[in-house]
Amino acid sequence: MFNNKKVNIFLIIVGIIIFIFLPRFVSGYWVRVITTIFMYAVISQGINLMSGYMGYLPFGNAMFFGVGAYITAIGMGKGLSFLAVLPLAALTAILVSILFGLPVLRLRGHYFAIATIGMSGALLSVVQNATEITGGAMGTTLPIIDKSPEVTYNYFYLAMLALMVITTLTIYLIIKSKFGFGIRSIKANEEAANSMGINTTYHKVIAWAISALFTSIAGALYAYWMSFIGPEEVFDVMIAVNTIVIMLIGGAGSILGPIIGAFVISLLSEVVWSTFLEYHLAVLGITIIIIVFFVPKGITGAIADFVKKRELRLRKKVSV
């Protein structure tokens, strides 16, 4: 069932249609929760490209979320429309990723992860102190959409859903391309990739730029949606940490992993939060440890293993 391409495409289209019409059947609260899930899936997908496929864990990826959010806030504060400001936000994030990426992507493993946290922190400080432009630590407001809250929330729900679908599709196509082959070779063995004549610097910088692009659009949508943002909130390292956990639970290096992970973690924390109000973080943490312990390859990895085992069993039966 999971190996048949046509069945998979059919299932995915049905899933998308269900999500398009879902807001008609659930409360406004759940619409907002699911919008957040879509947003986390997008950010996690950006981390998946960098870490799951390329082997570089970008712990500071929240900085692109923050850049996207703040460029949107500043641009709209100057009277630009959201659609005019969106390309600007994305472009700025891409520029930041290339500027930071060229030196920092020479580092490997933990050193790269730590360096990106440092950069994220540096950008946070800049935003906090450039009070005249960004509003400083107090945060800044964006124009509110002149429609009923329900319509507004549905609008952001659909926008975030579209972003998630586009992000996932783009990353899927990249991974299936020759460029993606190069990216996977970097994870497998960067030294060998180099000696095969693969321009690893180019691959790494472009991959991070793509990661920055989608993360910044998520940030832009978030800022417009919330209509108020603070620097501590959008440059929060925990955004990256949460999405890394989401990727690991869902399945790193699998295209649907971040989406499945986002739903599982967010719904899990909803349930845990509403039943164990006082200890919900502890319960959630223990649950995550248990999942990682028993399903180390993530949910998609466990499904793939299960399918493979079943096929082997079927083949054995046939041969006997």
Interface residues with another protein (CB under 8 A) are: 178, 181-182, 184-185, 187-189, 191-199
| Nearest distance from C-beta of residue 189 to another protein, angstroms | 5
Nearer to another protein, 199 or 275 (CB): 199
Q: Between 178 and 316, whose beta carbon lies closer to another protein? A: 178
CB of 192 to another protein, least distance (A): 4
For the record, the structure tokens of 120 come out as 């994220």
Can you tell me which residue has the tokens 């070779």?
A: 185
- C-alpha dist (Å) from residue 250 to 19, 43, 70, 72, 169: 19, 13, 29, 30, 17
Q: Which is nearer to another protein, 73 or 203 (CB)?
A: 203
Min. distance of Cβ 232 from another protein in angstroms?
38
Q: How far apart are CA 101 and CA 96, in angstroms?
A: 8
Residue 23 DSSP label: G
Say how many C-beta atoms besides its own lie within 10 A of residue 245's C-beta.
Answer: 19
Q: CB of residue 170 vs another protein: minimum separation in angstroms?
A: 22
**Judged by CB, which is closer to another protein: 192, or 289?**
192
CA–CA distance, 227 with 145 (Å, rounded to integer): 9
CA distance 23 to 207: 34
User: Least distance in Å: CB of 190 to another protein?
Assistant: 9
228 forms beta bridges with 141
CA distance 120 to 62: 7
Residue number with CB closer to another protein (138 or 196): 196
Q: How far is the CB of 196 from another protein (least distance, A)?
A: 5
Question: Closer CB to another protein, residue 91 or residue 312?
Answer: 312
Nearer to another protein, 159 or 198 (CB): 198
User: Is the dihedral angle over the CA atoms 295, 298, 300, 305 positive or is it negative?
Assistant: negative
Instruction: Tell me the C-alpha distance between 19 and 29, whole Å.
Output: 15
Q: What is the dihedral of CA 212, 218, 220, 224, to 10 degrees?
A: -170
How far apart are CB 183 and another protein at their closest, in Å? Answer: 12
